Chain A
Amino acid sequence: MLEKSYNIFIKDLKSELRTRYAINSLVMFILVAISVILFSIGNEKIQPELTAGLYWVVIFFSAMSGLSRAFVSEEERGTTLTLHLIASPDTILSGKILFNLTLTFFINVIITFVYAAFFEGFVIKNFVLFLVTFIFGNIGLAVSSTIIASIIAKAGSKGTLYPVLSFPILLPLILSCVQLTIFCFDGTSIDTHFYELAIVVSYDVIMITVSYLLFDFIWKE
């Protein structure tokens, strides 16, 4: 199963690198979104709290514009039935989650670099906490986006519906991540903010479990 899901991941990666559609459009999206934020800020100095919020806003919307392609492109190209034949639902979900994880990490590293370069408030005083938040936040983001993307693909790939369905599901994750990012900027230690971290980790575990339980029904619809 692991080998097959790895093969699906490689297949997605190859077809992505052939056209570079998602990567190009996502990088452009990040540039556009961040330049709009920078224009509206002007010469103002913004607080670290606001910087943390804006950071996760850009992460959320870039995920919303890029991650639905994993399943929507299969429906568009009509390759869903072939996938049905060659692999079990669990395998396909693993492959897709792997691909979305790679894409999320790649995109969010770029976003972090751009924020570090252009925002004065973006000074990380507690690097370990930031790294942990970043990793677990991205895992949760990628997993929830993947399962919602599969629903969207079956519902006739409605583009506008994707953020509508994902936002309430992602809200606990994003709120906790914003809080944790603010703590990173403050430079407080991990022990004092154990609860927020526990929310993010348990959210990831719950979402992964629910995705594997329910994907069967979505995929066979």
Chain B
Amino acid sequence: MYWKILLFVLMVFVSIAGITFPIVDKPSAWYEFPFIPGLGENAKIIFFHVPTAWLTVIAFLMSCIYGFRYLRNKNLNDDVKAYVANQLGIVFCILATVTGAVWAKFAWGAFWSWDPRQTSIFALLLIYGAWFALRSSIESEEKRATLSSVYSIIAFVTVPFFIFIMPRIMTGLHPGSADDETSGPIVNFKMNENMLLIFFISLIAFTILYFWMWYIGYKSILLKEKLQKNY
């Protein structure tokens, strides 16, 4: 119960702080963000856009781990867990794509311009789509669980290429690309401590939210199966 209150407080704080705190040239007070050349006021999307992209990868990791566990133990509950993780993953993937496109409209002047980052998030959407297409094509439960586990592991090993390697070495518009000089490589954000603090609080809050949603989804599928067995 306490963690739900904590989550509520954190989310409210992040939403208010992320939207209303001012961006100034030389931040002195704790509630002031630094001005990042090339981003300016647009930089604030980092508190909402980056956590969704982060959760997309977390969902991938979870479906890979549970796929692996299913292949070892042949326990169908693990398959259900992977399924729920992927359901949430596709939701957050769409959110990341949409928030990114809206941001791109203001920062780059177009919703979509096949920047390496946009290509990779699009490829992740395709992987999720392919995973659900594969599942819907197989009738038998065990076979479906095995084949989709195998596919999610194969897909997961290609994810580092999309998320971590290609956007870093290719030239593009997204902050953190190879030729980016204004806001610097992703690892070396030009954020000050306040901005980093709120950014990490946002990441933590979104992650707690994700695991809560995932647990509810998992329980609801188990209950549904139980009801179908009884009647």
Which of B119, B133, B153, B154 is in CB contact (< 8 Å) with A175?
B119
Question: Do B147 and A169 have beta carbons less than 8 Å apart?
Answer: no
Instruction: Spot the interface stretch: B36-44, B161-169, B200-208, B213-221.
Output: B161-169
Number of interface residues of A (CB under 8 A): 29
Mark contacts of B115-153 with chain A using CB atoms, 8 A cut-off: 1 yes-contact digit, 0 otherwise.
000010001101101100110011000110011011101
Asked if B71 lies at the interface with its beta carbon under 8 angstroms from chain A, I say: yes
Query: What's the Cα separation between A8 and B166 when bound, in Å?
Result: 37
Instruction: Give the contacting residue for B151; candidates A151, A172, A179, A207; CB below 8 A.
Output: A151
**Do B119 and A158 touch (CB < 8 A)?**
no
The chain B residues found within 8 Å of chain A, CB to CB, are 71, 119, 123-124, 126-127, 129-130, 133-134, 137-138, 142-143, 146-147, 149-151, 153-155, 157-158, 161-162, 165-166, 169-170
Contact digits for A184-221, partner B, Cβ 8 Å, 1 yes 0 no: 00000000000110010001001100100010011001
Q: When the two chains form the complex, which single residue of A155, A167, A206 contacts B137, counting CB atoms closer than 8 Å?
A: A155
Additional A-B contact list (4), CB under 8 Å, known A154-B147, A155-B138, A171-B158: A148-B154, A169-B154, A199-B166, A218-B147
Taking a contact as CB atoms under 8 Å apart, the answer to whether A169 and B146 are in contact is no
- How many angstroms from the CA of A199 to the CA of B158 in the assembled complex? 11
> B150 to A169, Cβ gap below 8 A?
no
Q: List 21 A-B contacts (CB under 8 A).
A: A147-B154, A151-B147, A154-B143, A155-B137, A156-B138, A161-B133, A164-B130, A167-B126, A168-B124, A169-B155, A171-B158, A175-B119, A199-B169, A203-B161, A210-B153, A214-B71, A214-B150, A218-B147, A221-B142, A221-B146, A221-B147
